[in-house]
Amino acid sequence: MSQPSHVVCPSCGFKNSLPLPHHRCVSCGAKIEDIKRALSRQEELERRYQQEGFSPTWFGISFAIVAVLTGAIVVCLPMVVPMLDFEGSAGMLVSIPVWFSAGVLVGLVSPGRTFIEPVIAAFLVAMPTAFLLFQGQTVKSMPVFMYVLMSALGVLFTLIGSYVGERVQMGPPPKASE
């Protein structure tokens, strides 16, 4: 990879040519730090739980996990066990812990930090799930806005679940003295 020939001053926006005399901007004199400087220990600890990018691969895996778990537990399980009836509001109440579990599962198995992928997958699965449960409601009925609110709650719990899974995967945080 080639070195850049110019660097923009973060203070004034002037385009300086490299090398910089005394690591200062030619226009305003502000100190410009090295572009590829290493993070300090404190900065590394602060960035430990931050996602750095979006992974389409893990989005696909998250979508598959959320869709399969939702389909298996909310749709297929009542077909196998007739005593269970997850129609209408009961189906939405069961979907929330299912999406939480899917978030935990993706957080545990994914390399790196993947918080947003299971959340988007749960959002995409929540829409048809809420629609199908609303269309199929007979006795356990709710208004439409409650399906929207419970879907949003399920997506929020997916975020919490993926965070919990990532925390378990990374282990305990290092001590500040280390």
Domain boundaries, the chain: 6-37, 56-170
- Position 73 confidence tier, pLDDT thresholds 50, 70, 90: very high
Residue scoring higher pLDDT (17 or 79): 79
Q: Which of 11-20, 37-46, 81-90, 152-161 has the highest mean pLDDT?
A: 152-161
| Rounded alpha-carbon distances, angstroms, from residue 57 to 63, 106, 121, 122, 139 | 10, 12, 12, 15, 40
- pTM confidence score: 0.71
Residue scoring higher pLDDT (85 or 30): 85
pLDDT average, residue stretch 89-112: 92
Task: Quote the tokens at residue 4.
Answer: 């850049």
pLDDT at residue 29 tops 80? no
| 54 contacts 62 by C-beta, under 8 angstroms | no
pLDDT at residue 49 tops 70? no
For residue 43, give the 3-state DSSP assignment: helix
Lowest mean pLDDT among 42-51, 70-79, 143-152: 42-51
Which amino acid does the sequence have at 98?
Answer: V
